[in-house]
Chains A and B, each alone.
Chain A
């Protein structure tokens, strides 16, 4: 067992948790925007680009931010940061916005900034831009969260020494329904180097399933 889940965030309608502890609760929200904006403001990141992102990117961005604050970048090469994410709805939420803007010939004003987000991996791009991660990344689509496929992919990257650490998980959003499990995976040797660190859960498909439940 050479890799550890050192941090994870879980975002579901009304709740944001990090490492199993509640970071934010709001059962009364109606739209995703209403839910995420106050929390983002609270994070006080000074990153106005956030407001230009589509809903899916905002979701992934926040989830990643919460686990990446765990990382000590002195220990790693950012060119060897892996990101492997998956979801069910792809960028459908934004696709529909774009679709609406082109469906009426007389009110035809497609927005370039909306179109840019009609790809699920742009979310990964936003995370990379924010943290300047230049390693390998991939985005997979499947009907539901499949830990085995993500685990196999990430494990292979580690086994063949392609990456130093990895973000992986499930980031799905469709209108005001959203579901995120974002996991940070680090090598054991780093985590046990005596520093004050987060979790030390074994990185495996079983653990991922546990965290997702």
Chain B
């Protein structure tokens, strides 16, 4: 799980063009949206693309994204479960 979390951090940084951020800056349990990284609705859609492109997981309704993309850890858990 920890390996997946580290991998995800790098992938998120790349997919979302977060140039100034390094994996060490991201806490596995911190909220991705709102405070912290300050991601927005377009970033949420990009994360959906990331899941499909890198892990073959399709999310049809963007509203489901809220729970899955709450933090890096919840993303990792979703991936492991599917």
Q: Which A residues lie at the B interface, using CB under 8 A?
A: 48, 51-52, 109-113, 116
Contacts and interface: CB of A to CB of B under 8 A. Distances in A.
A52 B16 contact: yes
Contacts of A112: 42, 45-46, 49
B24 interface: no
A116 B42 contact: yes
Contacts of A110: 49
A108 to B, nearest CB: 10
Size bracket, chain B contacts: 10 to 19
Given A48-B21, A112-B49, 13 more contacts: A48-B20, A51-B17, A51-B19, A52-B17, A109-B49, A109-B53, A110-B49, A111-B46, A112-B45, A112-B46, A113-B16, A113-B17, A113-B42
Nearest to A107: B53
A111 B43 CA distance: 10
- Tell me what chain A mostly uses at the interface: helix, strand, loop, or mixed: helix
A111 B19 contact: no
A51 B20 CA distance: 9
A110 B48 CA distance: 11
A64 B52 CA distance: 37
Contacts of B20: 48, 51
Contacts of B18: 48, 51
A110 B43 CA distance: 13
A51 B16 CA distance: 9
- Leading 6 A-B pairs by shortest Cβ distance: A112-B45, A51-B19, A52-B17, A51-B17, A109-B53, A48-B20
Contacts of A116: 42
Contact of A113 (B19, B46, B52): B46
7 contacts: A48-B19, A52-B16, A52-B17, A109-B49, A112-B49, A113-B16, A113-B45
A52 B19 CA distance: 9
A206 B21 CA distance: 46
Given A48-B18, A48-B19, A52-B16, A113 B43 contact: yes
A122 B73 CA distance: 33
A116 B43 CA distance: 11
A48 B46 CA distance: 17
A123 B67 CA distance: 32
A130 to B, nearest CB: 15
A111 B49 contact: yes
A51 B49 CA distance: 19
Contact of B52 (A48, A52, A109): A109
Choose among A48, A51, A112, A116 the residue with the greatest number of B CB atoms under 10 Å from its CB: A112
Interface in B14-34: 16-21
